[in-house]
Chain A
Amino acid sequence: MADTSPAQNEAGAPVIVARGVRKHYGTIHAVDGVDLEVRSGELFGLIGHNGAGKSTLFKMMLGLIPQTAGEIRIDGAPVPGSDFRTVRRKVGYLPENVVLYDNLTGTETLDFFARLKGVSPAGNAALLERVGLKHAARRRVREYSKGMRQRLGFAQALLGKPRILFLDEPTTGLDPEAIRGFYAILRQLKSEGVTMVITSHILAEIQERVDRLAIMAAGKVQATGTVQALREQMDLPLWFDVRVAAEDFESVRNVLAGLPVGAVEARDGHIAVQCAREAKMTVIAALATLDGKVRDLTVREPSLEDVFFGFSD
């Protein structure tokens, strides 16, 4: 497969490819025909309800369970395939609700997994520091909080500088500060060219952070693209939030009533207006002619949550 060799996987070449992937358990179709391409250096989000098939898809991509049908390639190599050791040394995985060994310390945990990965344990101390666990390196995992276990699991995924990361609900149990720290590390990894696939059920958290995402429902990918592209594809209405002085309230309201807008809601000095995306510029132009009366204007895009429910329901 010369065309998919790692050397040619420069910016944008597909690193993770799934074609027609299915996983059936009897009559249950956990994954039901997924086509997906994640490009080199991309931070790719995978969202969906519980049971949408995300974790099953992850496990198939990692070769933990065989697919019923379809083809998966990681960095050009088929999964499952005879080249699995090479593939797995390039891949880091943080499972959902990671479970580590209570009787080992943080350092011992990383040493154990480093040996399995065939990586020198020399960098483990730095890795623990990177995820903020330096102070707890010699404590047993038994004494770790949920968030600390999650961070140790993340450190484990980073062993051996993997080129590809699969992170299943990585921020579960992390406090807001730790979540920021976590995404700071992801940005750093991204700048180093690491390809990442991340699932999360906290949509607000990932909508500003992923390059592209796929929405899964009922074992299928319902839509793929940037958050903005999905918004446009879904064609959800926008909201204008117009702030006006009390004496101009009625006149502005009358102007708005003559425009192609949907719901108009008024409350203490604000007028909220819903409008279709294609009417956006018309509304802005009309409001601009009311010089002075409009004190402030905010355009609210539909959230990823709105988009998500649009695609998955």
Chain B
Amino acid sequence: MEFSQIATIAGKEFWDRIRNRWVLAVALVFTAFALSIAYFGAAQQGAVGFRSIEVTIASLVSLVIYLIPLIALVLGFDAIVGERERGSLDLLLSMPITRLELLLGKYLGLAGALTFSTVAGFGLVGVVLASQLDLNALFHYFGFMFSSVLLGCAFLSLAVMLSVLASDRTRASGLAIATWFFFVLIFDLLVLGVLVVTAGQWGGEALPYALLLNPADVFRILNIFSMDDVRTLYGLSTVFPPALAQPWLLGLVMAAWIAGPLAIAAWRFRR
């Protein structure tokens, strides 16, 4: 494996996104949302202004959980199939580069762009809020940013996998949307449905672990269940096995969600 080849491809993908202002646009969206949630999140209670980091993060999480998977899927779905359909893939592959290097370069470049806009967008808000946060709150906010990056990278990995599996761009975009629906909207309903239908008799103990099968849920758990205040607030401590409140375990699961689809993509892209 030649890292310079990966870096060349990744560099092109990254700068393409900087130049067409994709990174700027996404960062601005994140900043705008985070600022409005931080300052106006409590408006329903008749007050504006920054309240508490827990409430802010809880609101941000419910926003990010819809937005980031969508952005990542849109960003990555045509990574390979787009080159193939436009006809530029053959020329790329005639270079002294392996298919794995090309795939990794594509992924890392796009992941870099997504990470950059996430960190810039939420980071800016973090800087604005910094004076009102204590060290512990800053740590939580940093954790939120970091897990948002992981969430984006996981869905980007799924998107790149789809772009290898799909035979054309139309199909890839359809699969990307279906993936979003499944993980963001349907999955939790399915889990709940199983719980209700079986009246908790079947798989009740194991069911919480099913949430690990969804990177969006892993992200949610990372940001909510690790915080004692929120746990008591929602009264969920009884339902949730403490084993799942280990950030490092959840981090590992996220890493698997990044590596797994990429590995499948690499395997399929070999031929």
Interface residues of A (CB under 8 A from B): 59, 62, 64, 66, 84-86, 88-89, 91, 93, 95, 97-101, 103, 112-113, 115-118, 153, 156
Contact = CB atoms under 8 A, between A and B. Distances in A.
Nearest to B86: A99
B75 to A, nearest CB: 16
Contacts, number: 51
A62 B12 contact: no
B134 interface: no
Given A103-B20, A116-B8, A59 B90 contact: yes
B95 A113 contact: yes
B167 to A, nearest CB: 14
Contact of B8 (A85, A88, A97, A112): A112
24 contacts: A59-B90, A64-B90, A64-B93, A64-B94, A85-B96, A88-B94, A88-B96, A95-B87, A97-B87, A99-B88, A99-B91, A101-B88, A103-B20, A112-B8, A112-B12, A113-B95, A115-B4, A115-B8, A116-B5, A116-B8, A116-B9, A116-B95, A117-B96, A118-B96
Contacts of B16: 103
A118 B97 CA distance: 10
B94 A91 contact: yes
A93 B91 contact: yes
Nearest 9 CB-CB pairings of A with B: A99-B87, A85-B96, A116-B95, A88-B96, A99-B88, A93-B94, A115-B8, A62-B94, A95-B90
Please indicate which of the listed interface residues B5, B88, B94 has the most CB atoms of chain A within 10 Å of its own CB: B94
Nearest to A93: B94
A117 B9 CA distance: 12
B248 to A, nearest CB: 38
Contacts of B90: 59, 64, 95
A59 B91 CA distance: 10
Nearest to A94: B91
Contacts of B96: 84-86, 88-89, 116-118
Interface residues of B, number: 21
Nearest to A101: B88
Please indicate which of the listed interface residues A86, A91, A97, A99 has the most CB atoms of chain B within 10 Å of its own CB: A99
Interface in B89-105: 90-97
A59 B90 CA distance: 8
B91 A66 contact: no
Contacts of B94: 62, 64, 88, 91, 93, 95
A88 B271 CA distance: 19
Contacts of A117: 95-96
Nearest to A112: B12
Contacts of B95: 88, 113, 116-117
Contacts of B86: 99
B18 to A, nearest CB: 11
B19 A103 contact: yes
A167 B96 CA distance: 18
Nearest to B2: A85
Nearest to A86: B96
Contacts of B12: 112
A91 B95 CA distance: 9
A312 to B, nearest CB: 25
Nearest to A89: B96
Nearest to B19: A103
A197 to B, nearest CB: 14
B202 to A, nearest CB: 46
Contacts of A89: 96
Interface in B16-54: 16, 19-20
A91 B134 CA distance: 60
Please indicate which of the listed interface residues A59, A89, A118 has the most CB atoms of chain B within 10 Å of its own CB: A118
Contact of A116 (B20, B88, B97, B271): B97
A141 B4 CA distance: 25
Contacts of A97: 87
Given A59-B90, A64-B94, A116-B5, 18 more contacts: A66-B271, A85-B96, A93-B91, A95-B87, A95-B91, A95-B94, A99-B91, A100-B88, A100-B91, A101-B88, A103-B16, A112-B8, A112-B12, A113-B95, A116-B96, A116-B97, A118-B4, A153-B91
A75 to B, nearest CB: 14
Contacts of B87: 95, 97, 99
Interface in B77-92: 86-88, 90-92
A59 to B, nearest CB: 7
Interface in B167-217: none
A129 B92 CA distance: 23
B37 to A, nearest CB: 34
